[in-house]
């Protein structure tokens, strides 16, 4: 027997659960189910290049009849994998306008799931990495079934957060507040295997900034100056335009990812609950920083489900320097 046994994601989740005597297993089951959904989405993302061959550009053929977009498919996979388990009381998806109730025929549980089922899907035809992002909260409302109140919780209340990156390999990275752990999908056995235990963002890390610099003229003077200074300090620019891919690189190499507010989008573009908060929990747990320009993303009190936020994620001292630069905007 090998000295270092392979650690599957299920084994890892169970090991983490054993450290919490109060755990009921429900929470572990949710993570397990998300991993299953991720495998299904991964399989279809990998096949997306075949879309043109079957002659339905921009669309995805699921069962030979039903033609749907891949992001809608991913949304359905998340819902169908998690709606009936009795562990969730409500869900929300970047793809869906309103809170998603658990169907009446199924029991409700104590947890809440928010997700962006397939972020960056506008890049799919270019074979660029896409991602799924998820966030889990505890139910706080009094009624039997969950609702908006359960969904509008600040990031620091998250019990778990994670993402899946569908890249040259598929990786799932998650945290329950006990370190950040990354798993790589081994397709031949269909298992996520622990490949990146205890992830930490390198500090100082590589000198990389990541932002859509085409919007430079719309930025505030403080934002412009901060980026000018990064260039003067010898930073390189890397921007894929697919959040999970840009975030994953930032977590592994260090540097700073930015999606600032600008004159056209004064609240930024990215969503607080589906994108910013879960990635903020991960980066802070990995020793880095998150900000909306004024303070940690994890302290932002959400007011609406699809709320947008300016977003900065990365090596802590770069986030602090960015906040200082933005102060000068008043
Ligand atoms: P989407 O929800 O339409 O896929 O948009 C989200 C994507 C992110 O993946 C990425 O960080 C950002 O939009 C890129 O935006 P831009 O093209 O303005 O740089
Ligand atoms: Mg998105």
Q: Binning pLDDT at 50, 70 and 90, where does residue 22 land?
A: confident
Residue 98, classified by CB atoms within 10 Å of its CB into exposed (0-12), middle (13-18) or buried (19+), is exposed
Q: 237 C-alpha vs ligand 1 centroid, how far in Å?
A: 17
Q: Which tens digit of pLDDT belongs to each residue from 179-191? A: 999 999 999 999 9
Atom of ligand 1 minimally distant from the CA of 116: 2
The Cα angle at residue 318 between residues 174 and 206, in degrees rounded to 5: 75
Count helices and strands in the chain by DSSP H and E runs: 8, 15
Highest mean pLDDT, choosing among 4-8, 120-124, 205-209: 205-209
Instruction: Spell out the domain ranges in the chain.
Output: 9-196, 208-329
Q: Between 132 and 4, where is the model more confident?
A: 132
Do 17 and 25 contact (CB within 8 A), yes or no? yes
In the DSSP assignment, the letter for residue 123 is G
Q: Which of 80, 35, 83 is nearest to 62 (CA)?
A: 80
Both tokens of 312, joined, read 């900065």
Mean pLDDT of 240-253: 97
Residue of 120, 264, 313 to test ligand 1 pocket, by largest number of atoms within 8 Å of CB: 120
Report residue 108 as tokens: 């409700």
Given a cut of 90, is residue 202 above it in pLDDT? Answer: yes
Contact 315, 235 (CB under 8 A): no
Among residues 247, 250, 235, the alpha carbon closest in space to that of 202 is found at 250
Q: Which fold has domain 9-196?
A: Fructose-1,6-Bisphosphatase; Chain A, domain 1 (3.30.540)
| Residues lying with their CB under 5 A of ligand 2, a single-atom ion | 116, 119
pLDDT confidence tier of residue 15, bands split at 50, 70 and 90: confident
Give me the architecture of the 208-329 domain, per CATH: 3-Layer(aba) Sandwich (3.40)
Q: What CA dihedral angle connects 71, 74, 78 and 79, to 10 degrees?
A: 70
User: 40-44, 56-60, 120-124, 167-171: lowest mean pLDDT where?
Assistant: 56-60
């Amino acid at each position: 027997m090998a000295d270092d046994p392979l650690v599957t994601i299920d084994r890892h989740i169970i090991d983490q659960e054993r450290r919490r005597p109060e755990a009921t297993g429900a929470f572990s089951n949710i993570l397990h189910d998300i991993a299953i959904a991720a495998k299904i989405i991964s399989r279809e993302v990998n096949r997306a290049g075949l879309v043109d061959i079957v002659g339905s550009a921009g669309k995805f053929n699921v069962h030979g009849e039903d033609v749907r977009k891949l992001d809608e498919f991913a949304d359905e996979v998340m819902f169908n994998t998690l709606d009936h388990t009795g562990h969730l009381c409500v869900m929300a998806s970047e793809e869906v306008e309103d809170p998603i109730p658990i169907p009446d025929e199924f029991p409700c549980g104590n947890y809440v799931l928010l997700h962006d089922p397939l972020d960056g899907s506008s890049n799919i035809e270019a074979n660029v990495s896409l991602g799924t992002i998820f966030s889990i909260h505890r139910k706080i409302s009094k009624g039997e079934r969950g609702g908006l109140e359960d969904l509008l919780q600040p990031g620091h209340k998250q019990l778990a957060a994670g993402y899946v990156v569908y890249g040259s390999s598929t990786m799932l990275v998650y945290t329950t507040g006990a370190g950040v752990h990354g798993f790589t999908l081994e397709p031949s056995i269909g298992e996520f295997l622990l490949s990146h235990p205890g992830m930490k963002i390198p500090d100082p890390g590589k000198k990389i900034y990541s932002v859509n610099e085409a919007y430079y003229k719309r930025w505030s003077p403080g934002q412009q100056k901060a980026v000018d200074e990064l260039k003067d300090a010898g930073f390189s620019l890397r921007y894929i335009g697919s959040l999970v891919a840009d975030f994953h690189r930032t977590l592994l190499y260090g540097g700073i990812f930015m999606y600032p507010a600008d004159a056209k989008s004064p609240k930024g573009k990215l969503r607080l609950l589906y994108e910013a908060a879960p990635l903020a929990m991960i980066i802070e747990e990995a020793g880095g920083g998150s900000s909306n320009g004024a303070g940690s993303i994890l302290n932002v009190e959400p007011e609406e489900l699809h709320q947008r936020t300016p977003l900065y994620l990365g090596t802590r001292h770069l986030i602090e320097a960015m906040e200082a630069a933005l102060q000068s905007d008043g």
